[in-house]
Amino acid sequence: MLRHLSAIHAPFHLKRPFRISRGIKSVADTIFVEIREGKNIGRGESVPYSRYNETIEGVLAQIESIRGEIEAGADRAYLMEIMPPGAARNALDCALWDLEAKQTGVSVIERIGWDSLKPISTAITVSLDTPENMAKVARQLSDVPLLKVKVDACDPIAAVRSVREAAPNPRIIVDPNESWSIEQLALWQSGLLELRVDLLEQPLPAENDAQLEGFDALIPLAADESGHVADDLAQLARRYDYVNIKLDKTGGLTTALAMLEAAEREGLGLMVGCMVSSSLSIAPALILAQRCAFVDLDGPTWLMEDFKNGVKESRGIMTPPEPGFWG
């Protein structure tokens, strides 16, 4: 049976600006993919990320370059052979998972042999801002289980303190997005410990990771920009305690599942994250979340409008999409 592939740029406007150490955005620029085969349609989404030299045009061109193979019936295993990790492969891989589920009537989580999806606690992000404004946001989120606090190298302790005073109870992840030096990490980590920070995510630029070998970390460290695929993990295990698995980095759910298993073998703790995206990106990531100690999947909560029947978040608890939405 013939297939038809479509891929478009699908922007989502945000409720408020999303700011991290390397920039600010007011729109989530996603790639929306459909693979149609007969009456069944598989859908996938990805988010090109400039940190990895990805652009909307470049990702669409990557997808277009293998249109022939996809429409001729390429499966997920072959996709891994002909495309590198990244946003383009992620959108296609997730669309193929969804198509398989529609064709067979077997859900993705059943296919991989795990228990059914359950609601999970997700981090809710406090975007980088003045300490006063971050405190205002945190005060409204004081009853969620987990906060993620975006900081840079400009007095991060003041920012985290403002959040902790406004929200005494939630666990906290602090994310500098590669903006610190090893000297700053050494200087600030005791202050973060006093503020009861549970996890520090990617404090140093990825190219400076070697400086973490032998470093006496007071707070567990998670690799994000440093960890993309399973081949990275043996080295990461000498430098980090956790790895943040994102489908846009691994290039899809297929390789994300392999990375999850490999990380467990290496003794790394598990975290799953996302870009600012819609429920279509979050639905496959929720599968990984079932096995992760830290979950950061609040991307759709930033959107002015999400897909109908997608994930729902209430006070930091995320509920899976309605049946039939994806997978």
pLDDT digits (tens, 9 = 90+) for 218-269: 999 999 999 888 788 999 999 999 999 999 999 999 999 999 999 999 999 9
Question: Nearest 5°: phi and psi at 282?
Answer: -80, -30
Is 3.30.390.10 the CATH classification of the domain at 3-105? yes
Distance, C-alpha 47 to centroid of its chain: 10
Residue of 102, 148, 246, 249 with catalytic role: 246
DSSP at 321: P
50 pLDDT band, cuts 50/70/90, is confident
Residue type present at position 175: D
Nearest one of 196, 234, 200 to 215, comparing CA atoms: 200
Q: Quick one: tokens of 175?
A: 């994310």
State how far the Cα of 15 lies from the Cα of 84, in Å rounded to an integer: 33
The helix/strand/coil state of 126 is strand
Q: Averaged over 169-196, what is the pLDDT?
A: 98
* Predicted local distance difference test score (pLDDT) of residue 51: 86
Give per-residue pLDDT as tens, 78-129. 999 999 999 999 999 999 999 999 999 999 999 999 999 999 999 999 999 9
Is the pLDDT score of 309 beyond 90?
A: yes
- The CATH classification number of 120-319 equals 3.20.20.120
Query: Cβ(151)–Cβ(20) under 8 Å?
Result: no
> Order of strands across the sheet with 312-314?
120-121, 317-319, 312-314
Q: Where in the chain is the domain with CATH 3.20.20.120?
A: 120-319
* Predicted local distance difference test score (pLDDT) of residue 108: 98
135 pLDDT band, cuts 50/70/90, is very high
24 pLDDT band, cuts 50/70/90, is confident
For the chain, give the percent of residues with pLDDT over 70: 100
Is residue 249 part of the annotated active site? The answer reads no
HSE (side-chain half, CA atoms, 13 Å) at 202: 25
* Predicted local distance difference test score (pLDDT) of residue 97: 98
* Predicted local distance difference test score (pLDDT) of residue 227: 84
Is residue 150 part of the annotated active site? The answer reads yes
* Predicted local distance difference test score (pLDDT) of residue 229: 80
52 pLDDT band, cuts 50/70/90, is confident
Q: Quick one: tokens of 212?
A: 């973490």
Q: Quick one: tokens of 86?
A: 């990244």
* Predicted local distance difference test score (pLDDT) of residue 63: 98
Residue of 118, 136, 148, 150 with catalytic role: 150
Is the pLDDT score of 73 beyond 90?
A: yes
H-helix segments, the chain: 56-65, 67-71, 76-82, 87-104, 108-111, 131-140, 156-166, 182-194, 233-236, 247-250, 253-265, 279-289
Rounded to two decimals, the pTM is 0.95
* Predicted local distance difference test score (pLDDT) of residue 232: 86
Q: State the pairing for strand pair 269-272/171-175.
A: unpaired
Question: Looking at the chain, how many residues does it have?
Answer: 327
> Order of strands across the sheet with 3-20?
3-20, 23-37, 40-46
